[in-house]
Chains A and B, each alone.
Chain A
Amino acid sequence: MDQEKTPKGGSPDDFEFFNQAMKKGMEVGRFYLDMMNTFSRSVNVAFDREPDREAQQEIQDEISQKSLKTYQEIIGKYLTMPQLGLGREALQKGMLSLDACNRLMISVGEFVIKFNIPFKEAMDALQRSMKEKKDIKSPRDLYDILVPILDERYDDYLKSPEGVQDVMDVIEAYLDYEDKLNGVREEWFKSQSLPSKKDMDEVYWNIHHLKKRMRQQTAIIREQEKIIEGLNKRVRAVEKSQSMPKKKRTTSVSGVAQKRGRKAS
């Protein structure tokens, strides 16, 4: 093969590889710097004397997008790429669960950052209170002022649509991780010839339905028994009334005789 030689004797293909690697490195570096810049802007906004809530929210969203994008570029896309060979399926599931775990960590990290905003706001409010109140003599006094302020700020945040969404995002990331981990567990059960979670769920489903039918049948039997008991009572009452006809006739005959006697007299 006739390849063009470079002055030092290497082929251009060798350099192409290094070029690509350098480009990639630069790209990753750019992502990282971009993310760090966003972080520092976020800190500036957060510690602004009079913070703008909208600007904070905007920058938080930007952090979320950038941290995810950076993760995806540096690590994520290698974990989610198709695997090859004999252990392909198991390996792929393992990699996906690792990816989901990383995403959960990012999500929790973002939540912690957002969760700190009400704390920072409460500290600002505390500083204002300290200026107004002159009778703060001990750390305990300060703490007693801080607690209701914190309570109010967190209540506002957690009830706000953003707060609700932030909690849901973490839960979703956690569920995604658990979902992917279930895949890994299934593979492990399979390798050990153990029934998988899905197999067991099927068994539980069938047992549950049998129990439900049994319970419903038991309830029907219980009702039937009550009806039978009621009927038996009535039968016994009828039998009782039929076992005393002589007495009744006697009474009624004597009653009639008495009536006749009265009429005759």
Chain B
Amino acid sequence: MDFSEILERIEDSKEFQGKMSQVMEVLSGDLDCDVATTPVDVVYTEDKMRLFHYRPMVDKKDVHPEPILIVYALINRYIMLDLEPGRSFVQNLLKNGLDVYLIDWGYPSGADRYLDLGDYVNGYIDNAVEFIMSDTGLEKINLMGICMGGTLNVIYTALHPEKVKNLITLATPTEFDIDDAVLFLWAKALDVDRVTDVMGNLPGDLANILYLLVVPVDTVNKYVQLIDGIENKKFVNTFLRMEKWIFDSPDMAGEAFRQYIREILQKNLLIKNELILEGEKVDLRHIRCPLLNVFGKNDYLAPPSSARPLSEVVGSKDVSTLGVDTGHVGIFVGSTSYKTIIPKIVKWVKDR
């Protein structure tokens, strides 16, 4: 079969035409693609930040006494952790008896352009931790950080070690002197001062375009997969939920973006213990609580070369490193997450 013959077959293919009309029919039909449906109480708010407390899904007596606070990245939204009933990372934690709090950063506007990493770490995260501590009467809580939220948690734990019982980092980049991540290469070449001076905040859409451009083939291929799986309604619903999450991109506060790119990414100061935040040195050797460092072996956004080194630089003697055969999203969504990662996280927390 030669190339022109194949193209002719695509054009003439009744199967292909049938699929396309089926796509239109399914997408215009009755779909269930709501996200973030797990019952939750907003227990604390500050500016645009909201602290969620998820309602337990097991008997109160079976709930683990030490709560866990999840800090999500400043890019994209937490809804990926609560994508759909049955495929929800948060629900799985709840069903396994953990008491879960989560920070929703909301949508920063022009009024938030001067928020820096200090405001996020020593302000919002610390206030959320203090709230949970006073709410539960505990002196320490568990912290879980997702992607860039993990980086924020690492900084927080180094600065406030007395408030953190256990630290869990998921797909968290900390080493940036690597050459196998396209996004880091771009970020290193970026004139970050010019971006923030001109734009104020980093526009979510600009960040999204760059994310999609990192994997141009996947960006197109996923729609081919949608056509392939159009007959499977469950798959279509999940696809649409993912689509909602991917294109729900809040802007990122300008100063926080500037600091993150220039000091953490371009100068790689965090892993070198040279980062200064609000006048205080961030020394990762001050992290002495148990650490569980989880990363995806096929993660192209926070590759293993960037996530793994954290385990070696913290001051903790109880360090567990878990490399999983999955990508960035696969840590939170999919069978590997539910069957392998979540049970290990829950056991690790309960054991400590």
Contact = CB atoms under 8 A, between A and B. Distances in A.
A147 B216 CA distance: 11
Interface in A147-187: 147, 150-151, 154-155, 158-159, 164-165, 167-168, 171-172, 174-175, 178-179, 182
A238 B51 CA distance: 40
A121 B176 CA distance: 31
Interface in B174-229: 179-180, 182, 185-186, 189-191, 194-195, 198-200, 206, 210, 213-218, 221, 224
A172 B123 CA distance: 33
Given A130-B2, A139-B9, A215-B119, A158 B114 contact: no
Interface string B152-164: 0000000000000
B103 to A, nearest CB: 16
A75 interface: no
A158 B214 contact: yes
A164 B189 CA distance: 7
B1 A154 contact: no
Given A147-B217, A208-B115, A215-B122, A171 B190 contact: yes
Contact of B122 (A142, A165, A172, A219): A219
Interface residues of A, number: 40
A205 interface: yes
Interface of A is mostly: helix
A155 B217 CA distance: 10
Contact of B189 (A165, A205, A207): A165
Contact of A179 (B7, B185, B198, B216): B198
Nearest to A158: B182
Contacts, number: 89
A136 interface: yes
A164 B198 CA distance: 21
A86 interface: no
A123 to B, nearest CB: 9
B198 A139 contact: no
Given A143-B224, A154-B217, A167-B186, A222 B130 contact: yes
A201 interface: yes
Interface of B: 1-3, 6-7, 9-10, 13, 47, 110-115, 118-119, 122-123, 126-127, 130, 179-180, 182, 185-186, 189-191, 194-195, 198-200, 206, 210, 213-218, 221, 224
9 contacts: A139-B9, A151-B215, A159-B179, A159-B180, A165-B189, A167-B213, A201-B200, A204-B110, A207-B111
Interface of A: 115, 127, 130, 136-139, 142-143, 147, 150-151, 154-155, 158-159, 164-165, 167-168, 171-172, 174-175, 178-179, 182, 197, 200-201, 204-205, 207-209, 211-212, 215, 219, 222
Given A137-B1, A215-B127, 9 more contacts: A130-B3, A136-B1, A150-B216, A154-B217, A158-B214, A167-B213, A179-B198, A197-B110, A204-B113
